[in-house]
Amino acid sequence: MNDPSRDKFQRAARVLKSLAHPLRLEMVCGLRQEPCTQTFIAETLGIPQSSVAQHLKVLRSEGLVKAERRGVEVVFSLADPTVTHIVDTLCGTDGAAVHDRYTWQEIATLERARRASGGC
């Protein structure tokens, strides 16, 4: 016997588990502003593309993020707008990462400047 209310809670637990990593939360915060490529996410967050790919795979497996091919690029965006409410609740306004203050473009510029200056 399959209990619909139990299914709902199991789905909610899987969604929360998929968001249970700081980088995935940060990716979702950025993707709620604008869709972008895996390369751009990697450059912006300063992490290897292989790590971004693994995190995106987790988010896609729960239907939180979708991929769309645009020519030779694959652009990622939020597939489920309710995830924004979850992240807002989890992070709060003050703790919702740097993406609430800066756009992806500004973060990428800051990251490049940090690397060029030899900063940490």
pLDDT at 120 over 60: no
Express each pLDDT in 86-118 by its tens digit. Answer: 877 776 644 344 445 556 666 666 666 666 665
pTM listed for this prediction: 0.73
| Domain 4-116, classified CATH 3.30.70.1350, yes or no | no
Report residue 57 CA to chain centroid gap: 11
Half-sphere CA count of 96, side-chain side, radius 13 A:
19
Contacts of 72 (CB under 8 A, 6+ apart): none
Q: Which pair of tokens denotes residue 2?
A: 């399959």
End-to-end CA distance of the chain: 55
